[in-house]
């Protein structure tokens, strides 16, 4: 059974990476429920099992993990609480070395998929398993 808490949908992946680029990634403070985040994420921890789960989806010699910076948005409140909104996150995507120049890797076949800023119908589906999340962040877990 898939651990929904750690899986990001395509829609969430696009939203959190877009939020990061427009706020923290451009030198602005992250925006949380109560305003600007002035005490931003200091570290992110992933357990061995989750890292190995992602690595198993890559080539044994040329495989690795591509980390995408993101920023938690309101879609995570129910699972994680409002303290996460506006804080940095990392999304893990399995990637073989030959795919490094592609925007993202499709976990089902490690083919390139394009996470552009457009909002066409296909990109809005809620298909799971496009990226993994679930790292413990500090704050609030420190």
- At 46-74, the pLDDT tens digits run 999 999 999 999 999 999 998 889 999 99
- Give the pLDDT score at 61: 94
Burial label for 54, CB within 10 Å (0-12, 13-18, 19+), is buried
- CA–CA gap between residue 33 and residue 50 (Å, rounded): 29
Q: pLDDT higher for 112 or 70? A: 70
Residue 100 banded pLDDT, cuts 50, 70, 90: confident
Among the listed residues 97, 99, 124, 131, the one whose alpha carbon sits nearest the alpha carbon of residue 112: 99
């Amino acid at each position: 059974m898939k651990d929904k808490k750690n899986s990001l949908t395509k829609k969430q992946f696009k939203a959190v990476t877009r939020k990061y680029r427009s706020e923290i990634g451009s030198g602005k403070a992250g925006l949380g429920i109560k305003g600007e985040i002035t005490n931003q994420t200091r570290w992110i921890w992933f357990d061995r099992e989750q890292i190995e789960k992602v690595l198993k989806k890559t080539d044994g010699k040329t495989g690795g993990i591509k980390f995408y910076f993101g920023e938690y948005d309101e879609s995570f409140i129910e699972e994680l609480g409002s303290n996460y909104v506006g804080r940095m996150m990392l999304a893990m995507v399995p990637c073989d070395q030959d795919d490094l120049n592609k925007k993202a890797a499709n976990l089902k076949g490690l083919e390139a998929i394009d996470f552009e800023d457009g909002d066409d119908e296909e990109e809005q589906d809620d298909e799971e398993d496009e990226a993994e999340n679930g790292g413990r962040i500090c704050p609030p877990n420190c």
